[in-house]
Every structure is written in structure tokens, then in C-alpha cells.
Amino acid sequence: MTKTLLLLPGDGIGPEVTAQAARVVDRLNTHHGLDVTTATARFGGAAIDADGVPLTAETLAQAKASDAVLMGAVGGPQWAKQAYDKRPEAGLLALRAGMNVFANLRPAKCFAALADASSLKREIVDGLDILFVRELTGGVYFGEPRGIEDLGNGERRGVNTHVYTSSEIRRVARVAFDLAKHRSGRVASAEKANVMEAGLLWREEVQALRDADYPHIELTHILADNAAMQLVKAPRQFDIILTDNLFGDILSDAAAMLTGSLGMLPSAALGEAGTPGLYEPIHGSAPDIAGQGVANPCASILSLAMGLRYSLGRPDLADAVESAVAAALDGGARTRDIGGMLATAAMADAVLAHL
Ligand code: IPM
Ligand code: MG
């Protein structure tokens, strides 16, 4: 049955890298028995300029009616002065919330060919394979009240609310435990239970779910600051790291650098079974290199692979795409961010050549 993939290229390098992932879709359709039709919609700053808002109701409806959504990136200096609800990033948060994709899978995997591009020594990162499961639709990103108020005495007060309910914690923990069954069976859950009530609740709920439904999973709890330290000290001790929205944002960027480049890392945001997933490179819009055709398309191509695995019913083609990326790297193909000279399209050519 034909599946549908909505492309939301967005801003900065988003359109450049998404175009390369779209070439991979075309190739899989014509040569490898994939049956996916693509549509494209405006998103982020591009939508603000054309439609006045970063995510229109039509685009959200189209996303929810698709089998999968592949996003590029959002944001840029030209929109950074807008009020928060008018910024490109607000469109991304609205898309995540609107699609109810509460579990964000962020693999931080070190390709053998790139171990020397890491900021850490090869012996510390070689073979690194961490999977972050980041809660994506709750916590301080969404909590109310929020805002900046004028206290009238020359002072202003900025407020955000870090809030989680037990069901929000349990549903994302369940995703981590289910994934752990197919990996090492180990989950480290990171919070700040020593200073935050919501962190304590997180710890208690995750433990209770494990005790009730996942007795064979080895669960450890780690304070998020210690997790940051351990990530740069001995990252291979981790398999799955389960954490909240804000800590997940920060820790996954740190882990990404261990693997050599932000330009390599994909992500999948998943909701309830049977609902569409949202796939995005974890790198941002990189305005400094946008439009030059030098961005690394691998994170977008690998995000597509995750979409093939989790939403488009073709885990076999996901494996094939991931192997093609690894083979291209083994063959020496490199964009600038990973120490080479290849342009965006040429890097994708190298991947396609191995598909
Ligand atoms: C990410 C990004 C986003 C986030 C921004 C662009 C809103 O940093 O996906 O990691 O903070 O979630
Ligand atoms: Mg981030």
C-alpha cells in the first residue's frame, strides 16, 4: 500500500539536506520496491514569511494525515527578534505537540570511520552506541505559567514551569523499556531528583513501571549533571538514556559531538502506535553555512532511515540506507564538518552509490 511522507524542509540548511533525503526516497521508489509518495509544505521561518505563522492549521492537518513527516530545520537570525509564539521554534513545538510525538529517539552512534573526528580520543568513543529517549511534549518547554512580566519597579520576571504528570512519564519510559529489550536491556534514567519535585516524581514513576512491567530491565537512576560528566568521561557505559525534554535536549547535543559531528545524527519522534512519526536531523538550521551547498546531508538521510523503520514499514530499507551511509564514510566521503571537502549533493551521491 502506498505510504505518504510529508517533507517540511524549513529554514537555513534544512531545504538543502532534505532535498538529498528526497533523492534517496526517489531511488528507493524506483529501484528498491518502496512505495512512498512525498508532499512538501512550508514550515518555520519560511512559513512565517509566507503565511504569518510558523505552522499553519493546514500543514499540521497534513502532517497528521501522513504516514511520516521528515523535517529539515527551523530558525535563523532574521526571526530571532519575534515574540516566542511567532518564532520558527514555536512551530516546531506546536508540530511535536499537535502530532503528540512524546518519545524522541536520538541515537548517538559513532561510525567507525569517524572515530577520529570526535573531540574525545578514539579509544573512548570507538563503537559508541547510545540511544537517548527524550520526552518531547512536556516539561519546561510546555509548562504553564510561562512568560516575562514587568514588575513595575524596573525589574522583570521570567517564568517557565517544569511540570510532568505520572502518565507523561510512564508512556515515554515504556518506549525506553520496550527498546531496551532489543538492545542490552539496560536503561539509565536521568533527572535532578535531588533538587526538583518533578525529578523525584520522574524517578519514582520510572522505577514503579520497571518493577511492575519490566522486571528483566536493568534500570539505574543518574543525576543529569553526573550524566553530562559521565558522557564525556566514559560514554560507552551507557546504552539507553531516558530523560526529560530539557535535559534530553542538552545531553543529546553533548553526546552528538562525541560521535564526530552534529551533522551525522538523526532522530525520530514517536507517539502512540499507528500514529505518524516525525523525523528530523538533530542539527539546527546552521545559518552560517546555509545556501552554500556544503551542509552534511547524512543526518537527514539517516532520519529518513528511521522513518523507514518506524513509520513506513520498511526496516529492511532502513538497514540498507544506514549501511550505505557507513559504506560512503568508509570509502572516504566527507563533508566539511567531518573533515572533508564534499558538497552536500556529492555526499548524497556517495551514499546513493552504495545503496
Ligand atoms: C532540538 C532543538 C529544538 C529543541 C529547538 C530548535 C526548539 O534544539 O530539537 O534539539 O530544543 O527541542
Ligand atoms: Mg537541541
Q: In 156-291, which ranges are E strands?
A: 156-161, 186-191, 218-223, 240-243, 268-270, 277-279
Would you say the CB of residue 89 lies under 6 angstroms from ligand 1? Answer: yes
Contacts (Cβ under 8 Å, ≥6 apart) of 192: 199, 223, 224, 225, 247
The whole-angstrom separation of Cα 309 and Cα 315 is 4
Would you say the CB of residue 282 lies under 6 angstroms from ligand 1? Answer: yes
Asked if omega into 77 is within 30° of 0 (cis), the reply is no
What residues act catalytically? 141, 192, 225, 249, 253
What pLDDT score was predicted for residue 193?
Answer: 98
Nearest to 352 by CA among 69, 5, 29: 29
CB atoms within 10 A of CB 163: 15
What pLDDT score was predicted for residue 262?
Answer: 84
The whole-angstrom separation of Cα 207 and Cα 201 is 10
Would you say the CB of residue 92 lies under 6 angstroms from ligand 1? Answer: yes
Would you say the CB of residue 71 lies under 6 angstroms from ligand 1? Answer: no
The ligand that comes nearest to the alpha carbon of residue 73 is 1
Index of the ligand 1 atom closest to the CA of residue 74:
6
Contacts (Cβ under 8 Å, ≥6 apart) of 92: 44, 54, 55, 71, 74
Q: Dihedral of the CA atoms 77, 82, 83, 88 (nearest 10)? A: -60
What pLDDT score was predicted for residue 190?
Answer: 98
Identify the helix (H) or strand (E) that includes residue 316.
helix 315-330
Ligand 2 center–CA 160 separation, angstroms: 18
Q: What is the pLDDT along the chain (355 residues), one digit of tens a residue?
A: 899 999 999 999 999 999 999 999 999 999 999 999 999 999 999 999 999 999 999 999 999 999 999 999 999 999 988 888 889 999 999 999 999 999 999 999 988 888 888 888 999 999 899 999 999 999 999 999 999 999 999 999 999 999 999 999 999 999 999 999 999 999 999 999 999 999 999 999 999 999 999 999 999 999 999 999 999 999 999 999 999 999 999 999 899 888 888 889 999 999 999 999 999 999 999 999 999 999 999 999 999 999 999 999 999 999 999 999 999 999 999 999 999 999 999 999 999 999 9
The ligand that comes nearest to the alpha carbon of residue 92 is 1
What pLDDT score was predicted for residue 1?
Answer: 86
Report CA-CA distances (Å) from 134 to 17, 131, 183.
24, 9, 17
What pLDDT score was predicted for residue 128?
Answer: 93
How much is the pTM? 0.95
The whole-angstrom separation of Cα 139 and Cα 160 is 10
Domains recognised in the chain with CATH numbers: 1-105+262-355 (3.40.718.10), 129-258 (3.40.718.10)
What pLDDT score was predicted for residue 112?
Answer: 86
Report CA-CA distances (Å) from 81 to 104, 209, 253, 270.
28, 43, 24, 31
Q: How many CA atoms lie within 13 A of 102 on its CB side?
A: 19
